[in-house]
Amino acid sequence: MANDLDQQRIAITMDYFRKLDAGDPSMMDLLTDDIQMYFPKFGVGYGKEAVGRAAQGMMSTLQKIEHDFERMNVLVSGDHVIVEGFEGGVSSDGSPWPVEGRSEGRYCNVFQFDGLKIKRLHIYVDPDFDSTHEERFLWDAVGMTRPGDL
């Protein structure tokens, strides 16, 4: 059973996703000033300014992003909240994602808290939202399942 602090941190984490999906700049209020953030293809950034630049860079490739709250797995361990789930949206050219039969929109975010503020956020996701990196699709070559096989 999660304690009160765990429940508050889970609520802040859900608020982060809601604000991200809405493009609400008050999301930055959930972060410490010296936040550390990792995002694939962007690397590691430090501070709210770096997070803002990464968000602008990512959102310049998207019209819309949505996280599926119903299918989130939320785990709490000490000062960490880990969320595994599914996301989708529309790319800047109007293409919806994930692309059926090519991707599932899976992600995992690891939040570390300092009190009730997020001080470290590492995002693990394939940034090829549109599934255009053809040479990276190895499912057939290595015998892994595709979304329709699940």
State the pLDDT at residue 145: 54
The pTM is what?
0.82
What does the CA dihedral 137, 138, 143, 145 come to, rounded to 10 degrees? -30
pLDDT, mean of residues 38-55? 87
Tokens of 66: 């949505």
Give 85-95 pLDDT, tens digit per residue. Answer: 998 889 888 98
Give 11-22 pLDDT, tens digit per residue. Answer: 999 999 999 999
Instruction: Report the chain's mean pLDDT, rounded to a whole number.
Output: 84
Tally of CA atoms within 13 A in the half-sphere of 64 that contains its CB: 9
DSSP 141: H
| Cis bond before residue 98 (omega within 30° of 0) | yes
State the pLDDT at residue 92: 86
pLDDT, mean of residues 16-29? 94
| The pLDDT of residue 136 is above 70 | no
Check if the beta carbon of residue 6 is closer than 8 Å to that of residue 78. no
> Among 45, 69, 66, which Cα is nearest to 57's?
45
Check if the beta carbon of residue 89 is closer than 8 Å to that of residue 59. no
Residues paired with 86 in a beta bridge: 106
| The pLDDT of residue 57 is above 90 | no
